[in-house]
Amino acid sequence: MTHGLGTIRGVLTETGFDPATSQRVFRVAMTDIGELVLLPGLCAQLAARAPGVGIETVQPRINELRDALAAGEIDLAAGVIPEFDAGFHHQTIVRTTYLCMVRQEHPTIRDSLTLKQFREARHVLVNSKASPATGHAEEIERVVRKIGARVAVRNAHYLALPAIIASTDLIATVPRGLAVSFQQHVKLRLFPPPVPMRSAGARVYWHDRYHREPGNKWLRELFLQLHPLSQGGGER
């Protein structure tokens, strides 16, 4: 879809949007974290309230994402994403903190995680260069390196972490929602990090051109309803 066609789409859909009868397919930019944490609840809401509406997730690079949102090729972006330029809006949907995870039968980390254990453990990190559309990897690596801990494994995707942790004595630090989701499928122990970590705001982003477009507005409001107690930060 070209920039011009994206503009036309925005104009044509200004006339109204009925989720109960719409057959529209929304395109949403998400990382693998967003797909695991946000997408299940979103899909459940769509099934209940808009059975004809579809969702397609994509993972473009940041510069491509800006252009695609402006052109209407992507409706929304969701996640912990670096700030966009002027012309974009965003609203916080959830504040993200972190948890450390080890396998349930870890030989030394049992009922608590001390700073000494955290420093002496061998860590798994997701490569921040391989995950450019999220700020989590940078914050986790900053903390691990600050305390002088050893990085034993550096991989490209968060979704590989449960299998790695479950079969080793390594430790990984991940966003809280992701850790809780992992624990539902893999036997893990979760602990608050024994060092201060900056929380991150997961947001939805959209271009000003579609700020009043009914379908776009409905979808971003649906995201906010999934986390009604964590809408701090307001809309910009």
The pTM assigned to this predicted structure is 0.76
What does the pLDDT look like over 119-175, one tens digit per residue? Answer: 999 999 998 665 545 578 888 999 999 999 999 999 988 889 999 999 999 999 999
Domain assignments of the chain as residue spans, ordered by start = 3-94+200-226, 98-191
Q: What stretches of 45-176 adopt beta strand conformation (E)?
A: 54-58, 76-79, 88-96, 98-103, 122-126, 150-155, 171-175
| pLDDT tier at 82, thresholds 50, 70, 90 | low
For 43, the 3-state DSSP assignment is helix
User: In the CATH hierarchy, which fold is given to the domain comprising 3-94+200-226?
Assistant: D-Maltodextrin-Binding Protein; domain 2 (3.40.190)
What does the pLDDT look like over 163-209, one tens digit per residue? Answer: 999 999 999 999 998 999 999 999 999 999 999 998 887 889 999 99
Q: For the domain bounded by 98-191, which CATH number is listed?
A: 3.40.190.10
What does the pLDDT look like over 40-79, one tens digit per residue? Answer: 999 999 999 999 999 999 988 878 899 999 999 999 999 8
Same fold flag, 3-94+200-226 and 98-191: yes
The strands making up 200-207's β-sheet, listed across from edge to edge, are 54-58, 25-29, 76-79, 200-207, 88-96
